[in-house]
Amino acid sequence: MKFKDINSNEYEIPVSAIDSIQKIYSGTENKVAEAVLTINDKKLHVNKKTWEKIQKEYNRENEVIIGTYEGAFYRSKVAVLINNITELIAKPENGYAIKYKSGNGKEKQTCSITKYQYDYLQKRLVFNRNDKDADF
């Protein structure tokens, strides 16, 4: 993501590289005036407009889908980062599912999702495309 700090220095840093975001509020209005980004122990000050842009992208990148994992004798809820989803599966007679990279990134897991989630992900995810507007 490209952005400028308050000194007009330009950066191109992936949102995932941001370690933390500290908001600084204006003293009179109790609104965010600027933010301090911490990236590899370096602090960058950005204005409110840039912070909002970065926050929106950060939230989009860290969006989570809650699915259901079904084992032999139990069911449990699973939180999956949208960035970790590798495949959508539609079997209208059996339901809908997603395949996703697990915590270590090497093993793939499958969990069930609702039709509403499936329809949303169909619009949100783009697999195997060279499209500049694609999400992935």
Task: Verify that 14 and 49 share a domain, yes or no.
Answer: yes
CATH code of 10's domain: 2.40.50
User: Is 70 inside any structural domain?
Assistant: yes
Task: Verify that 16 and 33 share a domain, yes or no.
Answer: yes
3-state secondary structure (DSSP) of residue 27: coil
- Tokens 């301090």 locate to 36
Task: Verify that 94 and 49 share a domain, yes or no.
Answer: no
The one-character DSSP state at 73 is S
**Residue 127 confidence class, pLDDT cut points 50, 70, 90:** low
Tell me the residue range of the domain where 20 lies: 2-61
Query: Would you put residue 94 in left (φ > 0), alpha (ψ -120 to 50) or beta?
Result: alpha
| pLDDT tens-digit series, residues 68-92 | 988 788 889 999 988 888 999 998 7
User: Is 132 inside any structural domain?
Assistant: no
Count of C-beta atoms within a 10 Å radius of residue 54: 19
| pLDDT for the residue numbered 82 | 86
| pLDDT tens-digit series, residues 107-124 | 888 999 999 999 999 988
DSSP H/E element including 61: helix 48-61
| pLDDT tens-digit series, residues 5-34 | 899 999 898 888 888 888 888 777 778 888
| pLDDT tens-digit series, residues 37-63 | 988 889 999 998 988 998 888 888 888
Q: Is the pLDDT of residue 131 over 50?
A: no
How many domains does the chain contain in total?
2
Task: Verify that 90 and 69 share a domain, yes or no.
Answer: yes
Cite the beta strand spans of 26-74 per DSSP E.
32-39, 42-47, 64-70
User: Is 129 inside any structural domain?
Assistant: no
Which token pair is 51?
């912070």
| pLDDT for the residue numbered 136 | 34
- Of the three residues 24, 46, 61, the one that is the final residue of a domain is 61
Mean model confidence pLDDT for the chain: 84
| pLDDT for the residue numbered 33 | 84
Task: Verify that 51 and 75 share a domain, yes or no.
Answer: no
Q: Is the separation of the CB atoms in 13 and 61 below 8 Å?
A: no
